[in-house]
Structure 1
Amino acid sequence: MREASIEFLQQLLQAPSPSGYEQPAQRIFRSYIAPFAQVTSDVMGNVFGFIPGAGDNLPRVMLVGHSDEIGLQVRYVDDNGFIFFGSIGGVDPHITPGMRVNVQAAHGPVKGVVGKKPIHLIEPKERDNVIKLEAQYIDIGAKDKAEALSLIRVGDAITFAVGFERLHGDRVTSRGFDDKAGSFVVAEVLREVAALAQPLAVDLYGVSSVQEEVGLRGGTTSCYSIKPDVGICVEVDFATDQPDVDKKHNGEVGLGKGPILPRGANINPVLFDLLSGAAETDHIPVQYTGIPRATGTDANVMQISRGGVATALVKIPLRYMHTPVETLELADLENCVKLIVATLARITDKNAFIPQ
Structure 2
Amino acid sequence: MNSESKKFLCDLLGQCGPSGFEQKVQSVWVNRTKNFSDKITRDVHGNAIGILNPKADFKIMLAGHCDEIGFIISHISDNGYLHIIPIGGIDTGVLPGSQVKVQTEKGWIDGIIGKKAIHLMSPEERKKVLPMKDLWVDIGAKDKKDALKVTKVGDPISYAPNYLELRNNIFSSKGCDNKMGAFVVSEVQKILSTKKSKLKVGVYSVSTVQEEVGLRGATTSAFGINPQVAMAIDVGFASDMPGVDKREVGEVSLGKGPILHIGPQINPVLGQLLETTAKKKKIKYQMTSLGRPGGTDTAAMQLTRTGVATALISIPNRYMHTMVEACCADDLVAASHLVAETILNITPKTNFIPQ
Does TM-score exceed 0.5, indicating one fold?
yes
Q: Which residue of 2 aligns with 1:179?
A: 178
CA distance in 1, matches of 2:304, 2:175: 27
CA distance in 2, matches of 1:161, 1:8: 18
Q: Which residue of 2 aligns with 1:308?
A: 307
- 1:16-63, CA deviations, whole angstroms, 9 ceiling, x for partnerless residues? 10000000000000000112211100000000000007xx86420000
CA distance in 1, matches of 2:25, 2:198: 29
Q: Which residue of 1 aligns with 2:50?
A: 49
Q: Which residue of 2 aligns with 1:115?
A: 114
TM-score normalised to the size of structure 1? 0.98
CA distance in 1, matches of 2:120, 2:336: 52
- 1:57-94, CA deviations, whole angstroms, 9 ceiling, x for partnerless residues? 64200000000000111110011101100111011100
Question: Within 5 Å, which residues of 2 pair with 1:87-236?
Answer: 87-196=86-195, 198-236=197-235
Root-mean-square deviation (CA, aligned residues, Å) is 1.1
CA contact (8 A) 1:229 1:350 kept: no
CA distance in 2, matches of 1:144, 1:126: 27
- 1:298-350, CA deviations, whole angstroms, 9 ceiling, x for partnerless residues? 00010011000000011100000000000011000000011001100111135
Q: How far did residue 196 of structure 1 move?
A: 1.3
TM-score normalised to the size of structure 2? 0.98
Q: Which runs of 4+ in 1 moved over 4 A?
A: none
Identity of aligned residues (%): 45
Q: How far did residue 109 of structure 1 move?
A: 1.2
Aligned residue identity for 1:162: P
CA distance in 1, matches of 2:19, 2:298: 18
Q: State the secondary structure of the residue aligned to 2:127.
A: coil
Q: How far did residue 197 of structure 1 move?
A: 5.8
CA distance in 1, matches of 2:103, 2:310: 36
Aligned residue identity for 1:42: D
Q: Which residue of 2 aligns with 1:322?
A: 321
CA contact (8 A) 2:16 2:161 kept: no
**Range with greater deviation from structure 2 (330-339 or 198-207):** 198-207
Q: Which residue of 2 aligns with 1:67?
A: 66
- 1:89-111, CA deviations, whole angstroms, 9 ceiling, x for partnerless residues? 01110011111111111111111
Q: How far did residue 169 of structure 1 move?
A: 2.5
Q: State the secondary structure of the residue aligned to 1:307.
A: coil
Q: State the secondary structure of the residue aligned to 2:212.
A: coil
Instruction: Give ranges in structure 1 of 5+ residues lacking alignment.
Output: none
Q: How far did residue 237 of structure 1 move?
A: 0.2
Q: How far did residue 9 of structure 1 move?
A: 0.6
Q: Which residue of 2 aligns with 1:291?
A: 290
Q: Which residue of 2 aligns with 1:2?
A: 2
Instruction: Give ranges in structure 2 of 5+ residues lacking alignment.
Output: none
Q: Which residue of 2 aligns with 1:255?
A: 254
Q: Which residue of 1 aligns with 2:14?
A: 14
**Range with greater deviation from structure 2 (305-314 or 340-349):** 340-349
Question: How many pairs were matched up?
Answer: 354
CA distance in 2, matches of 1:258, 1:110: 37
CA distance in 1, matches of 2:165, 2:326: 10
CA distance in 1, matches of 2:336, 2:35: 18
**Range with greater deviation from structure 2 (142-151 or 162-171):** 162-171
CA distance in 1, matches of 2:309, 2:227: 9
Aligned residue identity for 1:132: P
